[in-house]
Amino acid sequence: MEWPRPPYLVSDDPARLQLDVVHAALGRSYWAAGIPRELVARSLAHSLCLGLYREPGAHQVGFARAISDRATFAYVSDVFVLEAERGQGHGRFLVECLQAHPELQGLRRWMLVTRDAQGLYERLGWRVVARPEEVMERVREDPYRPPAPPAR
């Protein structure tokens, strides 16, 4: 699928993704700082990913992905627009394209975690969890460091 917005284009073609661009941006983000390149590559291979490209030259300037079974649930993750391209509505456009993707229609639930973009998502129909007492999580505070061996 492609969504044109000249001189930009959003595409779900995995062959167009520029791993070095995605890895560099995620490695500088607050949510994935220090993430190894091979982990980024594996996450892309197992997700529905959208790239935002600026023509001419098709330079990747943004990214979003959905971790989904493509039937009932999607978790939106790793949405970014490179700093030089921000403030033009590209993040919103990426999320709109993700929400409109044919493989993600009719899902029962979408979720995401964000520390600083609630306003963006609220404008797209997202809300704070209605019943937080029903939502649980298990978080590794330092996920890119090897786990400690089990105690004996």
Q: Is residue 147 part of a domain?
A: no
Could you tell me the residue range of the domain that residue 55 belongs to?
2-127
Q: Is residue 145 part of a domain?
A: no
Q: Is residue 132 part of a domain?
A: no
Q: How far apart, in whole angstroms, are the C-alpha atoms of residue 22 and residue 28? A: 10
Q: Is residue 137 part of a domain?
A: no
The DSSP bridge pattern shows strands 109-112 and 73-81 to be parallel
Q: Is residue 12 part of a domain?
A: yes
Residue 139 has pLDDT above 90, yes or no: no
Question: What's the token pair of residue 78?
Answer: 């790793």
Q: Cα dihedral angle (46, 48, 52, 55), rounded to 10 degrees?
A: 90
Domain containing 53 — which CATH number? Answer: 3.40.630.30
Residue 145 has pLDDT above 90, yes or no: no
Please choose, from the candidates 77, 101, 91, the residue with its C-alpha nearest in 3D space to the C-alpha of residue 124: 91
DSSP assignment, residue 69? -
Q: Is residue 58 part of a domain?
A: yes
**pLDDT given for residue 143 in this prediction:** 74
DSSP 3-state of 74: strand
Please choose, from the candidates 70, 73, 129, the residue with its C-alpha nearest in 3D space to the C-alpha of residue 101: 70
Residue type, 45: A
Q: Are 44 and 22 in contact (CB under 8 A)?
A: yes
Using one digit for the tens of pLDDT, what is the confidence trace for 54-91? Answer: 987 889 999 999 999 999 999 999 999 999 999 999 99
**pLDDT given for residue 43 in this prediction:** 97
Q: What is the pTM of this model?
A: 0.89
Is the pLDDT higher at 4 or at 145?
4
Domain count, the chain: 1
Q: Between the CA of residue 68 and those of 31, 49, 105, 107, 152, what are the distances in Å? A: 19, 11, 11, 9, 37
Q: Is residue 140 part of a domain?
A: no
**pLDDT given for residue 50 in this prediction:** 98
Q: Is residue 102 part of a domain?
A: yes
Using one digit for the tens of pLDDT, what is the confidence trace for 86-136? Answer: 999 999 999 999 999 999 999 999 999 999 999 999 999 999 999 999 999
